[in-house]
């Protein structure tokens, strides 16, 4: 098949953005993502090697993907993630390379990641309060995460985005504190609506705090001004501080304001499945082809045919919604 570039799905959306999960393992146990009880990790043999990830990514970049994000599980628990970053950064056609991490391992490694070619970083942090942080993550490690953020700043990773999943009654009282943090550190804090992708099945619609509600609360203390963006596939609605303070606030509202119409993403799971939507209930096994020694043309044909099947939208707000079996930690957030 001769592809028409860039890769497009059957709804006419150009696919530009690949999220690569490199492990299902994580050193944290965020209760809304992974269960606290013993997780069954994928056997090592099922996890794609760096070589396989590079082959897959090179093919996708050849098909018009320009943005890569390395994620997990916790990507920094996988050995030598720096070497993978270095190889991904060198792929001709990659315009943007990022990683999502819990920041636990950044002190001592942020410089090497930057030197390997990592441009920017997204750090997950849901509470600035020690007790609440421990409750949310199952780990008493807030100070280490804050130090990791400082290490990323010192290494010159830019921009630094802080992703914060807000749940009503659990951490929604932290919104204004996070805005103060954005101003103090000059980082972009992005509030993400809680999605039904949790292992413990704790998600309830009432726990979703619409981004607009949070914006109102922050705006009352630190007035905000909208940042206009040309990029339609950008997930966050962005705001700056009206008093010109550094930092930025963003709202990612997949539940209250879905943005599927402009979705440009596909995902590769650590065990070698392509997912065309976070909420897909089917996965497409590229590992089988990679391990059978399929040619690059055959792999490209499989990817093109898979992208064709990308769902038009998620169904979180429909009565027939079916929660995917795998959680964010397996899919790769």
Q: Which range in 48-56, 193-201, 300-308, 311-319 contacts ligand SAM by CB under 6 A?
A: 193-201
Q: Is 57 in the site for ligand SAM (CB under 6 A)?
A: no
Nearest-angstrom CA–CA distance, 59 and 174:
42
Q: Quick one: which of 195, 224, 278, 300 contacts ligand SAM (CB under 6 A)?
A: 195
Q: Quick one: which of 17, 18, 19, 32 contacts ligand SAM (CB under 6 A)?
A: 32
151 backbone φψ class: left, alpha, beta (φ>0; ψ -120 to 50): alpha
Structure tokens at 24: 């299902």
Q: Which of 123, 3, 112, 111 is nearest to 65 (CA)?
A: 3
Q: Which range in 78-86, 98-106, 149-157, 242-250 contacts ligand SAM by CB under 6 A?
A: 98-106
Nearest-angstrom CA–CA distance, 172 and 165:
9
Structure tokens at 20: 């690569």
Q: Is 110 in the site for ligand SAM (CB under 6 A)?
A: no
Nearer to ligand SAM among residue 235 and residue 329 (C-beta):
329
152 backbone φψ class: left, alpha, beta (φ>0; ψ -120 to 50): alpha
Q: Quick one: which of 101, 253, 264, 276 contacts ligand SAM (CB under 6 A)?
A: 101
Q: Which range in 7-15, 35-43, 66-74, 270-278 contacts ligand SAM by CB under 6 A?
A: 66-74
Q: Is 9 in the site for ligand SAM (CB under 6 A)?
A: no
Q: Which range in 110-118, 187-195, 221-229, 265-273 contacts ligand SAM by CB under 6 A?
A: 187-195
For ligand SAM, the nearest residue by Cβ is 333
Q: Quick one: which of 9, 17, 198, 311 contacts ligand SAM (CB under 6 A)?
A: 198
Q: For 258, list phi and psi in degrees, rounded to 5.
A: -55, 145
Q: Is 269 in the site for ligand SAM (CB under 6 A)?
A: no
Nearest-angstrom CA–CA distance, 121 and 80:
17
Contact 299, 292 (CB under 8 A): no
Contact 97, 87 (CB under 8 A): no
What count of other Cβ atoms lies within 10 Å of the Cβ of residue 27?
Answer: 15
Residues near ligand SAM (CB under 6 A) are: 26, 32-33, 71-72, 74, 100-102, 124, 163, 165, 192, 194-195, 197-198, 328-329, 333
């Amino acid at each position: 098949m001769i592809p028409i570039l860039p890769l497009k799905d059957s709804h006419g959306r150009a696919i530009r953005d690949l999220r690569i999960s490199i492990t299902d393992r994580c050193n944290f146990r965020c209760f809304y993502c992974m269960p606290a009880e013993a997780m069954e990790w994928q056997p090592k043999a099922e996890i794609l090697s760096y070589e396989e990830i590079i082959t897959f990514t090179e093919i996708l970049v050849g098909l018009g993907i320009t943005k890569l994000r390395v994620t997990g599980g916790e990507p920094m628990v996988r050995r030598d993630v720096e070497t993978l970053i270095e190889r991904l950064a060198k792929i001709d056609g990659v315009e943007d390379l990022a990683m999502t991490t819990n920041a636990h391992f950044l002190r001592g490694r942020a410089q090497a990641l930057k030197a390997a070619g990592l441009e920017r970083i997204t750090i997950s942090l849901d509470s600035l309060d020690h007790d609440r942080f421990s409750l949310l993550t199952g780990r008493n490690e807030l100070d280490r995460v804050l130090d990791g953020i400082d290490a990323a700043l010192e290494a010159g990773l830019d921009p630094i985005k802080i992703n914060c999943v807000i749940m009503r009654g659990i951490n929604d009282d932290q919104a204004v504190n996070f805005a103060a943090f954005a101003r103090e550190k000059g980082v972009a804090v992005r509030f993400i609506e809680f999605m039904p992708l949790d292992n413990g099945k704790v998600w309830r619609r009432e726990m979703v705090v619409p981004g607009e509600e949070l914006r109102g609360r922050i705006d009352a203390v630190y007035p905000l001004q909208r940042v206009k963006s040309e990029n339609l596939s950008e997930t966050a609605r962005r705001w700056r501080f009206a008093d010109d303070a550094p930092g930025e606030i963003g709202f990612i509202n997949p539940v209250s304001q879905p943005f599927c119409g402009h979705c440009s993403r596909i995902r590769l799971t650590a065990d070698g499945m392509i997912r065309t939507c976070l909420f897909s209930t089917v996965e497409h096994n590229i590992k089988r082809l990679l391990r059978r020694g399929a040619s690059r043309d055959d792999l490209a044909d499989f990817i093109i045919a898979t992208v064709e099947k990308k769902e038009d939208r998620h169904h979180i707000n429909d009565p027939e919604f079916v929660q995917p079996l795998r959680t964010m930690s397996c899919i790769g957030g």
